[in-house]
Amino acid sequence: MPTFSFELYPPRSAAAELALVDSLVHLARVDPEFISVTYGANGSSRGASLAVLKELLVLGIQPMAHLTCVGSSYSEATRLIREFLDSGVRSFLALRGDPPEGTSEDDVFLGDLRSAGELVQLIHHVQAEREPFSEQDVEGFPGVKRLRTGERVTIAVAAFPNGHPRSRSVTQDLDTLLAKEAAGANLAITQLFFHAEDYLRFVDQARAAGVTMRILPGIMPVLSSRRLERILELTGEAAPVELQRRLSVHASPASQAAVGLDYATELSAEVLDGGAPGLHLYTFNRSGPVLAILRELGLITTVREPA
């Protein structure tokens, strides 16, 4: 059975906070594998992200904390990781993050960690330091001991089926992903994309390059022409002509939302048919659209009362 997981962002107002609590309750009821919470550039949302992650722990859902390292020293990044681990978070999405707008790599200090891979290593290091190796008996071999660490952390990383905007070639993106796995990442989540073949081709190329971890497709229901324009601006993805055409035929927000939902549902079905291990759904903090997709695909099997 394919897995599913969701992404949320920390609310920016009291009204948004109330709306998020309502969404959280609905999302938690369908028992996702995890829910990830974004992290504002340069740590701007640290407290708010942590509050949502703690809320997820209370609801009995595995929280995944996005962390960025651009601009941080080793000691700042280490302190941050310890703080999240102390709060009970055991899953991370390790990101480099973007340099402040208008700066180049050469003219400002962008922190001690040069890539997401180095952040993956640091998370493992901090985790191991907190949970030292312990000796365990080996079954069937009296007197023989084996060394074991405590809990295993999930460390996810980002992947870019259509290439990262700053990457020079597909090969560079594949090499970076491979390096992140070698550094200890055990899950990849993709940037949004609009055509199933973009994801499926990328996974084939990643496997050929030696990447073995799961690569979850990031699916975003885009429910209006305005939202689509904004997303293309932010991600640098090429405009999806067919979705643009379908949205442009409709003027009312409700019809545009229905078109966007159908498109995301078709895309999800196609990647699953092509072998995707699950779906990671970008929610914009709303439960309705993503739950409609999962229902349409028959993926909601559990409805439980939150803890």
Q: Within 210-229, which residues bind ligand FAD (CB under 6 A)?
A: 218
We find the least distance from the C-beta atom of residue 43 to ligand FAD, in angstroms, to be 10
Q: Is 270 noted as a catalytic residue in this protein?
A: no
Q: Which segment (35-43, 54-62, 220-228, 262-270) binds ligand FAD by CB under 6 A?
A: 35-43
The verdict on 98 binding ligand FAD (CB under 6 A) reads: yes
Q: Which segment (34-42, 226-234, 236-244, 245-253) binds ligand FAD by CB under 6 A?
A: 34-42
Dihedral sign of CA atoms 269, 274, 276, 280 in order: negative
Sole residue written with tokens 């701007």:
44
Q: Within 62-91, which residues bind ligand FAD (CB under 6 A)?
A: 66, 68
- Closest CB to ligand FAD among 166 and 245? 166
CA distance 89 to 91: 6
Q: CB of 112 within 8 A of CB of 72?
A: yes
We find the least distance from the C-beta atom of residue 234 to ligand FAD, in angstroms, to be 9
DSSP state letters, the chain: --EEEEEE---SSHHHHHHHHHHHHHHHHT--S-EEE---GGGTTHHHHHHHHHHHHHTT--EEEEEE-TT--HHHHHHHHHHHHHTT--EEEEE--PPPTT--TTTS---S--SHHHHHHHHHHHHHHHS--EEEEETTEEEEEEEE-SPPPEEEEEE-TT--TT-S-HHHHHHHHHHHHHTT--EEEEPP-S-HHHHHHHHHHHHHHT--SEEEPEE----SHHHHHHHHHHH-PPP-HHHHHHHHT--SHHHHHHHHHHHHHHHHHHHHHTT-SEEEEE-TT-HHHHHHHHHHTT---------
We find the least distance from the C-beta atom of residue 197 to ligand FAD, in angstroms, to be 19
Size of the site for ligand FAD (CB under 6 A): 23
The verdict on 270 binding ligand FAD (CB under 6 A) reads: no
Residue choice 56, 64, 185, 189 for contact with ligand FAD (CB under 6 A): 189
Strand partners, 51: none
Q: Which segment (26-34, 137-145, 164-172, 286-294) binds ligand FAD by CB under 6 A?
A: 164-172
We find the least distance from the C-beta atom of residue 65 to ligand FAD, in angstroms, to be 9
We find the least distance from the C-beta atom of residue 172 to ligand FAD, in angstroms, to be 4
- Give CA angle at 205 (200, 207), nearest 5°: 95
Residue choice 176, 256, 285, 287 for contact with ligand FAD (CB under 6 A): 176
- Closest CB to ligand FAD among 103 and 149? 103
The verdict on 162 binding ligand FAD (CB under 6 A) reads: no
- Closest CB to ligand FAD among 202 and 263? 202
Q: Which segment (26-34, 123-131, 139-147, 172-180) binds ligand FAD by CB under 6 A?
A: 172-180
Which sequence positions are flagged as catalytic?
7
Q: Please give the residue ranges that form the binding site for ligand FAD (CB under 6 A).
A: 38-39, 41, 66, 68, 93, 95-98, 105, 115-116, 158, 164, 166-167, 172-173, 176, 189, 191, 218
